[in-house]
Amino acid sequence: MFKSDAAKGLLFFTVVLFLVACAERKKKVNYPKTDLAEAPLIPRPVKVIATNSAFGLDAKTAIYTSQTSNGFEEVGVFLAQKIKNHIDLDLYVNSNENETIERIIFINQTDTLGTDNPEAYQLYIKNDSILLNAKTAAGAFRGIQTLRQLIPETSNDTLAERPMWLIPSGKIVDEPIFEYRGAMLDVARHFFTVAEVKKFIDLLAYYKYNAFHMHLSDDQGWRIEIKSWPKLTEVGGQTEVGGGPGGFYTQEEFKELVGYAAERHIEVIPEIDMPGHTNAASFSYPILNGNGKKPSAYTGTHVGFSTFDTRKDTVYAFIDDVVREIAAMSPSPYFHIGGDESHVTKKNDYIHFVEKVEKIVKKHGKRMVGWNEIAQAKIDPSTVAQLWNEPHNALKAAKNGSKIILSPAAKTYLDMQYDSLSEYGLHWAAYIPVDSAYNWSPAAHVEGLPKESILGLEAPLWSETISNSAELEYLAFPRAIGYAELAWTPENQHDWESYKERLAQQTPYLDRMDVNYYPSKLIDWKEHKHTYKEIERD
Ligand code: TNX
């Protein structure tokens, strides 16, 4: 019946506008004053203008989305699921059954946001309508996280005949400062199950992260099935720090994780760490080994004793297979080759290795990422260097045109203990209490590094001392929430006093998600109660 998708879209848009207009006219409830500017949003949005009224979210609310633009309907469905899980309210998405609808949430694609940032969004919250404008589905997805954070725990059932959740009205204009906002999980030192990784991804998504870096191999274990080299997981996948059973992801499971992250507009960056940190690979296939010793299983926590034989063709044939198989499952443009702490690889051999592997990564259509040591080699400007301990190498890479991911150990390492009493973690770089994790300037951290060279920020979580979700969460939360703000919010709006108030109010969400966060004494954590029994987490 319709000539084109565009005509269909236009008609749909008109219907929705009509509904908004009707809804606006129907009711002007005098809600109690609710201040959007006081809402405990993390990351703090760029601009918030409160109009001191509220949208009444209830059973007469429906969600509509642009339907001709990729991914918008999925964002609407995601929001509906989260609302269901949070307050047990069922909302239709793009349904025709609209007789009983009085209020709508419209998730709208538009090219006229006034910014090129693909993750930008704008929220207009009025009494009877919420309009979320975004250029891309990723932007819409970030926008609905803001909306989720605005839904109160308790309904306002004293004023209405049925429960209604009041969302403070006003306008939010928002976009991130960094293109890359990441966290890393080391699944090699200890293995984490698919369910555990998904839970971590859920938490990251709520705070608008867009990158999840998986450290998939190290001396203690190889965690990803490679069909052309099966012993990597049959042998190398069976060990972990402390002698536990280890584990690995089948290719199906890895794809499932990548898809799960993609539904949350998070990219998975796979890392195979080499030429050092390769004991598990060399133990599986001794032909790869270059340290002159007979490889055996390793379950300790020392680093720097292993290396591939960087002068052997078999090693590069092996890497070609590994990169090919992983790249084929990986929509991310990046492939991380590690490259850190290769203490027993001769410098010339190391440089030779990095330059050869960069070609392999490129051949499989990916941009290489490596820890800051890779800047010793002549790397391509398309390659990204991840700073952890050597500013001079990050500067060198940036001078040559590379982008830099900031992960300075003393500030962003999630495996650093909070203080000397912390149950888990290490402290070789620093103790990182919650305020110190937040109170620093990423952009000014490396003297002389131009802002344009910064791709973003990543908080790595190494797993020598942790092996399950509860332990992971103790180290990652609440610090990962602060990094989310550092990577998203303009620096002149970073403010510890405001942040710590907003962080204190994350408890309903963290408890609902059953997050074992570290209850830092620096934060006045808020007590809270739920209206509904906790149905499902999140
Ligand atoms: C350094 S950071 C490492 C890891 C360890 C971590 C422990 C980096 C690139 N290498 O191998 O797990 O410290 O904090």
Tokens, residue 252 = 């199906």
Give the active site residue among 240, 341, 464, 473.
Answer: 341
Q: Where exactly does CATH 3.20.20.80 map onto the chain?
A: 180-302+328-492
Strand pairing report for 367-371 and 384-387:
parallel
Nearest-CA residue for ligand 1 atom 11 is 303
Predicted pLDDT of residue 95: 94
534 alpha-carbon distance from chain centroid? 25
What is the sign, positive or negative, of the torsion defined by CA atoms of 196, 260, 83, 211?
positive
Predicted pLDDT of residue 9: 52
> What's the pTM?
0.93
Nearest-CA residue for ligand 1 atom 2 is 388
Predicted pLDDT of residue 201: 98
Q: Select from 341, 415, 466, 467 the residue to mutate for testing ligand 1; criterion: most ligand atoms less than 8 Å from CB.
A: 341
| Gap from CA of 207 to ligand 1 centroid (Å) | 25
Summarize the chain as % helix, strand, coil (round to 5): 35, 20, 45
Q: Among this protein's residues, is 373 annotated catalytic? A: no
- Find out whether the peptide bond into 176 is cis, omega within 30 degrees of 0: no
Angle 215-220-223 from CA coordinates, rounded to 5°:
45
| Gap from CA of 462 to ligand 1 centroid (Å) | 7
Which residues surround ligand 1 with Cβ inside 6 Å?
303, 340-341, 371, 388, 413, 415, 426, 462, 464
Comparing CA positions, the residue from 519, 3, 522, 483 lying closest to residue 207 is: 483
Q: Where exactly does CATH 3.30.379.10 map onto the chain?
A: 8-175
Domain 8-175: give its CATH superfamily: Chitobiase/beta-hexosaminidase domain 2-like (3.30.379.10)
Low-confidence ranges of the chain (pLDDT < 70): 1-33, 157-160, 528-538
Residue positions counted in the chain: 538
Predicted pLDDT of residue 57: 96
Nearest-CA residue for ligand 1 atom 4 is 462
Give the whole-angstrom CA distance, residue 116 versus residue 268.
23
CB-based contacts of 60, cutoff 8 Å, min separation 6:
100, 101, 102, 103
The CATH label, of 3.20.20.80, 3.40.50.720, 3.40.50.970, 3.20.20.210, for the domain at 180-302+328-492 is: 3.20.20.80
Nearest-CA residue for ligand 1 atom 10 is 340
Predicted pLDDT of residue 18: 54
| Gap from CA of 194 to ligand 1 centroid (Å) | 23
